[in-house]
Amino acid sequence: MLRGSKLSVFRRYVSKNTVINTDYKLGSADLPHDAVVFSMVQPTGKFHLGNYLGATRVWKELCEMKQPEQKLVFGVADLHAVTVPKPDAKEFRQLRHEAIASILSVGVDPERASLMYQSALPEHATLHWMLSTLAPMGYLNRMTQWKSKSNLKEDREASDKEIGAVKLGLFSYPVLQAADILIYRATHVPVGDDQSQHLELTRTLAENFNKLYKTDYFPLPNTLLAPTKKILSLISPETKKMSKSDPNQDGVIYVNDTPDEITRKIRKARTDSITDRFNYDPQARPGVSNLINIVSGILQVPIQQVEEQVSKFSNYGEFKNYVTEVVVEELRQPRENFQRYMEDPSYLESVVTKGTAEAQEMTQKTINDVMKIMGFR
């Protein structure tokens, strides 16, 4: 019932300095006919609602609107994952399989997009090294990723001892991320707003390479920003985004959660003491605003339209029942898909094998071209 209630609206692009803001649903005219779209997710296993609304549902829409000359490459960023060491190899392999199953479960079509593991393509690491020779230390020092993953406070200067404990791989993480994008000469990268800083570095490194070698080889990739704002923890919406690493898993909704699990988590979601009205105010009402944002993202309608819908509710029971119904209905098919794919590991392997071969045609050409430009060949 809820699926039929979605508005038939299209995303409109407003380009500014290679950042493209998208509204609602992608249309076939929204990308150039020869666009190369690239994106990856960490192998954290099952997707949560933030992953789904922030990135992977857009992948499905891109598959549905793909034109013959366009290329779509989606993958599992397993090299990035080991910047925080994964000592249990068996568990790590399982997480990688679950990530591929999750990508397929949300509707990504392996006949239209190439799916791969980052580690299966050594060209990613090769280009990473070449770009690292062009990456300014000062720029990397300003990146937030290594600070947050090292538990360093961004509002104060880290001590020499704290900085000395940071691993090189974590510090150079953004350079590898730039290599991931540029190895495919990607023109468009769909990301959440928390990844915008990394795309700026990617463009900087592409410009540095082009200028140094007097070429225009690397295009400057466009950032596709999804309209859904960051999905926050149901339990701690004031301070945390929704994350698998959250010690309180009641704050996280997974794509493969059962309807009963979703219902329980939303009932426990933190709200506030105002019970006679429900409005979007992230500062004063973070919990209520987070739930409204979730509905907005799922139904692909503006926040204001959701506010109008929930304004008729007179208590939290009605409000949370509505949110629950929207979430359960949206995740019903992905949950069933995930279970089916996890029961067929040979199919998952065949998808990755095919996607890796397709991706490697692109990565090998780029490395060959780059080596010629730089004088290695």
Q: How far apart are CA 254 and CA 106, in angstroms?
A: 12
Q: How far apart are CA 76 and CA 97, in angstroms?
A: 9
Helix (H, G, I), strand (E, B) or coil at 86: coil
Q: How far apart are CA 174 and CA 178, in angstroms?
A: 6
Beta-strand relationship, 19-21 and 222-225: parallel
Q: How far apart are CA 298 and CA 329, in angstroms?
A: 10
Q: What angle do CA 254, 259, 262 make, to 5 degrees?
A: 50
What type of residue is 47? F
161 assigned to active site: no
Q: How far apart are CA 72 and CA 68, in angstroms?
A: 11
Helix (H, G, I), strand (E, B) or coil at 230: coil
Name the catalytic one among 167, 230, 244, 365: 244
149 assigned to active site: yes
Name the catalytic one among 149, 167, 354, 365: 149
241 assigned to active site: yes
Torsion angles phi and psi, residue 94, rounded to 5: -60, -40
Closest listed residue to residue 359, CA positions, set 79, 55, 100, 119: 119
Task: DSSP letter for 376, please.
Answer: -
Cβ atoms of 195 and 174 within 8 Å: the answer is no
Rg of the chain on CA atoms, in Å: 21
* Span between the terminal Cα atoms of the chain, in Å: 60
Q: How far apart are CA 188 and CA 72, in angstroms?
A: 10
* Residues carrying an active site annotation: 149, 241, 244
